[in-house]
Structures are given as C-alpha cells and as structure tokens.
Structure 1
Amino acid sequence: MNLAELAFAAKLQGDLEKSKALLQQAFEHEFKPAQLIAKDLSAEPSRAILHRSAATLAMDCGCLREAERLVATGLAGNPPDQIADELRDLFNQINFLRHLELRGISLEANEFQLAIDGKVVSHGMAQSDEFVERVKYTETLLSRTAQRKAGRPYQEKGRTKKDIKESFELYLSIPRAASFAVTFRIGVPQQQLLLPGFDIQSDIIDEIMECLEFAYSD
C-alpha cells in the first residue's frame, strides 16, 4: 500500500492528523522526481504523469499554488491528449477550490450521490425538468434537516433562512454519463471547522440517507 492509500485509510479511521502527514509525505515523494524530469520534454508520457500525480497530491494537501504550477508545467510539455485533458480537469478543480478558499468555504469529504436513469436519460444527458426537480427536492431536504438540527422551528414553506443558507452550502459535481449521477457535497464556513467534535455535516447526511431508506423501504 503506497503513502496516498495509507493516508486515505487513516482518514477513514478518523485519524486526520496522520492522514494529513501521510499525504504530505506522498506529495514530497512525487514532487522530487517530477522536478528532476521537468525540463526533459522527450520523457513523455512519464513527465506528464508524474506532474499530474504530484499536482493531485498537492491539491489534496491544500497546496493550491504549487498544484497550479505543477499542472502548468505538465501541460507545457507534449503530453498525450488523454493526460492533457486530465491535467486540464485537475486545473479546473484547483480553481474551484481556490474560489471556495477566497469565500471562506471548505468542502467536507462527507457527500452523497443522486443518480437518475430510464427513458429520460441518455449518455451524459437527462431531461432538464426531471433532473432540476430532484435537485430542488434535495436542497429542500438539506435545508429542513439543517434547520431542525440547529433547533429551529419547522419551516413548511418559503425561502430558506439566510443564516442557514450561509452555514450549509450545497455543491454538485459534474454529472457522470449513463446513469446521470451527480455527487452532492456540503460546504461550511471554515470557522465552524475549528469547533472540536463539531461534525453536523455528517449528522445531516446520515439523517437524510436514513429518511430516504425508510421512505423507499417496503
């Protein structure tokens, strides 16, 4: 098991400090060979692959500026089309995280997935009404659950209260083809993450999943 896999395993076990340290080691392990090969444009695709791996680990470590540099260096060579596309996708992810950072928002690893299929779904496409309606229902379920967890009175209708919207923001991944699945993530202001034992995001997601399982059980 490599360092990145060990970091992921530590995170699953709840040892975030160990996970962070292992990720940093994994990044340094990939960064050094990427630097050594950076000027050798004849070393493709190894050169691009090393820069992609190092950039991914830099992003996972929160070193967004270094991740940007690594992606740019990887693209500056002559990478195969597929790896070049992966580097561009990675750059978009880094820009998104930087956007969140500037807004003081941090995305939690806690997430859940919504998938629709059937006659209204084709490869990477879905009927807009069917998809948008489900996203709206999910947003409503999230806000109502967050309000109750915060001890607020039940809100039957109307817009979600401003403080709830600012405290729990919902983000969507790019839809994946075939089943048209999207991943929902809950973002929270970074200052909330400083509270020890405060993991309201997990509580909200756990409760939403329990409610959905109960609703669709026989």
Structure 2
Amino acid sequence: MEMSEQVASLHRQAMGHADAALYFQSHGDEARFLAETLLALDLEERAAGMLPCAESSEPTRTVLLRSAATLALRSKQLRRAERLVAQALLGFGPEALLEEVRDVLEQVHFDRHLAVRGGELSDNELQVSLSGQGVSFGVIAVSQYLDRAKNIGSLVRRTAERLTGLPFQHRRGWGKECPGLYMAAPRAGSFTLTYRLGVQPSLEGLCGPDEILPTLLEDIKAVDNGDWPALRKRIDDDAYMNNFVGLLRQIAPDGANVSLVGFTVYRKGMAFQVPFRRSRRELLVDQSAESANELDIVEGVLSGADRQTNMVKVDGTRIKVPGGFIDDIVRPLWGQSVRATVERQPGTKAPVLIDVESLEM
C-alpha cells in the first residue's frame, strides 16, 4: 500500500527528529538525544496508527511499527516497545519483515534482562544475566549455573591481576593484591547474578573496581564483535590471553539452553552493557580459522593435569596444555568425561589443547 500524504508527512518528520537525535548522541548530548527520539517516536506511532490492521496496509504498517518500536527501545521505553511489536505481529506483514520485528522484541527482552531489578548497581558491581530456553523466571538448571558463576569470578580475578601488572599467577583464588569478590543473592528476571568487588585503599600500582570491570567488558565486547586483533592489543600476554579466551568459552551461550549472557557495569554513572551471544562453537571456528594446522577431537576421562609439565591425559592420549589453562580451566574437570579439541602441530608428538568441555551435563 502506498503511504497517504499525511502518513508520509508524519514519517518524514519522525525521521528528521530521529536523525537529529543521533547527531546529539554522537556529540554526547544525552538530554537532547532523548528529547528528539521521543518526538520521533510519537510521530512514527501516530503514522502507524492511521493505517488499519489489514493486508491492504502492508508492508507500510509493519515498517512503521518496527521503526516506532526501535525508537521506543532507544529511549528505554520497553513496555511501549513491546506494545508496538505486538501490534506489528498481529498484522499481515511479510515474513521477512516480521522476523526483523522479532529481532526488535529480542532486544527488548535483552534490555529487560539487563535492567537492574530490586536495587541498583554501583560502580563496583557486575551484573550477569543468563537467558534462553533453559532459563525461566529466576530458575535455571544447576549445570548451567554453577560452572558459569565460578568462571565469571575467575575472569574478574584474572583481569584484576593483569591490570595490576602481575605475571600470570599459577594458583587459584584471590591474592591480597586485588579487591575481594562477593556475590549477591540472585535476582529473578531471566536469571541474574550480581558480583561485587570489595573496596580497597587506593595504593600505587593497585587497580580498583572502576577500572577492572569496564576493562573486562571491553575485552568481552571485542570477542563478541570477532575483533581478535583488538583483543590481542588489549591482552598482550599469552598466558592471560589463553586464560581469558578459555574461560569465556566456558561461559559462552550453548545455543540451546542459554542463548545470551548479558553483562552490565556502571561506569561514571552510566550503564555499560555487553550482550554476549557467540556460542562456544563459534569461538572455536574463529580460532581454527587462524590456524593452518589440523584440529582433532579426543573424548574420554581427563585423568591428570600436571602443572609441572603442562600435560594432561584424555583417554590415554597425552596432550600439551598452553600457559594459562591448567588451573582455571583444566584441573576443575579432572576425573570427568570430557571432549578435548586439540591442534596437531608439525614436528611435535603431543597435540596442543585448544578447548576442553565436560560431557557430564
């Protein structure tokens, strides 16, 4: 259906305000960004409301409703965005366009998952939200929760040690150089965990929560964007790099039970959010693409993890473990049935471990 002149006029005005909003946002003027976005939202919603819910109104009606829902999302009016998405899905738009509307709804759900419920985050808190088919309102399978909770803590600790300038520590647990890590009671709403870093005196050479947590999220964001060169610039120590990527693979969505792991910290009073959607398999594909060597799978019981030789055995196969893997990633799986992804390098007898995951889920 062709837009009537009145509908088209409202849409043009809405897009003018939307463009202005993005201009103000790019110049750091959040107040004017919000004001212009709300004006655009009102106009776009009015334009969509002038079209009846009928096949003759498509695809124009769905396009306008999708646009309005996106504007509502930008202005954090999540309930309004949900209503606009619902109106679009009730209509007769083409399936490809409706998929785009569902993408907006998924983003609304994500923002809800990251929204702080029952309290506010402070600058020394990290909120992690798990969502997916295996997660209901405040309930999650133990197997999906415990390992991720532990590995997130390890990520925070290793980031703190790295920023403090310590060489990679071959031990588990927090040293006195870094602020302590605490965990608040989980909140309902997807499944949300809150980690709190202890406040320590500001001493020369010691980093605080305001540096540790934003740095961690910037590192995670680089991986989610597939920007491995940027990550390598941020983490230039091989052991820390191996450890970070290995732990992140343990935390990553599995694509079935958990489809998204969302991270939020507050930085200078503003929420800094990173939605991490890349699965463990995607991360492995990225890593294998960078290697010219053959990758192989070894399955069996992990029967040893020797820090002195950096060797493990899986089903009788001796495997070399790279620096940064033994303590946080390999040793917790000792005695379990695992799937190890290994790289067979020319001129070496033992394959090198790339990834290991438990099969006892």
TM-score category (smaller protein): 0.5 to 0.7
The 8 Å contact of residues 68 and 91 in structure 1, kept in 2 or not, is answered as yes
Residues 1:63 and 2:74 aligned together: no
2:159 maps to 143
Identity, in percent, stands at: 28
1:29 maps to 43
Residues 1:193 and 2:269 aligned together: yes
Q: TM-score, normalised by structure 2?
A: 0.36
Which is richer in helix?
Answer: 1
The 8 Å contact of residues 143 and 165 in structure 1, kept in 2 or not, is answered as no
- Structure 1: unaligned runs, 5 residues or longer: 107-135, 202-218
1:51 maps to 65
Aligned 1:90-105 pairs, distance under 5 A: 90-103=104-117, 104=120
> Higher relative contact order by CA 8 Å / sep ≥ 6: 1 or 2?
1
The 8 Å contact of residues 144 and 155 in structure 1, kept in 2 or not, is answered as no
SS of residue in 2 equivalent to 1:14: coil
Residues 1:74 and 2:88 aligned together: yes
Instruction: Write the distance in 1 (CA, Å) between the matches of 2:71 and 2:110.
Output: 16
Larger Rg computed on CA atoms: 2
Q: Quote the offset at 1:67 in angstroms.
A: 0.3
Instruction: Write the distance in 2 (CA, Å) between the matches of 1:67 and 1:174.
Output: 29
Counterpart AA for 1:162 = L
Which is richer in strand?
Answer: 2
After superposition, the Cα gap between the structure-2 partners of 1:100 and 1:140, relative to the gap in structure 1 and judged at 3 Å, is closer
SS of residue in 1 equivalent to 2:99: helix
| Superposed CA offset, 1:54-73 (max 9, x none) | 00000101110110111111
The 8 Å contact of residues 121 and 265 in structure 2, kept in 1 or not, is answered as yes
After superposition, the Cα gap between the structure-2 partners of 1:24 and 1:75, relative to the gap in structure 1 and judged at 3 Å, is same
Instruction: Write the distance in 1 (CA, Å) between the matches of 2:110 and 2:222.
Output: 11
- Structure 2: unaligned runs, 5 residues or longer: 1-14, 123-151, 175-179, 183-193, 197-208, 232-261, 273-361
Instruction: Write the distance in 1 (CA, Å) between the matches of 2:222 and 2:95.
Output: 23
Counterpart AA for 2:159 = S
Instruction: Write the distance in 1 (CA, Å) between the matches of 2:58 and 2:47.
Output: 14
After superposition, the Cα gap between the structure-2 partners of 1:140 and 1:99, relative to the gap in structure 1 and judged at 3 Å, is closer
Q: TM-score, normalised by structure 1?
A: 0.56
Q: Quote the offset at 1:33 in angstroms.
A: 1.1
Aligned 1:148-167 pairs, distance under 5 A: 148=163, 156-157=168-169, 158=172, 161-162=180-181, 166=196
The 8 Å contact of residues 23 and 60 in structure 1, kept in 2 or not, is answered as yes
The 8 Å contact of residues 18 and 37 in structure 2, kept in 1 or not, is answered as yes
SS of residue in 1 equivalent to 2:92: coil
Instruction: Write the distance in 1 (CA, Å) between the matches of 2:221 and 2:84.
Output: 26
| Superposed CA offset, 1:126-161 (max 9, x none) | xxxxxxxxxx9xx6799349x85xxx7858445685
SS of residue in 2 equivalent to 1:188: strand
After superposition, the Cα gap between the structure-2 partners of 1:156 and 1:181, relative to the gap in structure 1 and judged at 3 Å, is closer
Instruction: Write the distance in 1 (CA, Å) between the matches of 2:79 and 2:222.
Output: 22
SS of residue in 2 equivalent to 1:2: helix
Q: Quote the offset at 1:162 in angstroms.
A: 2.4
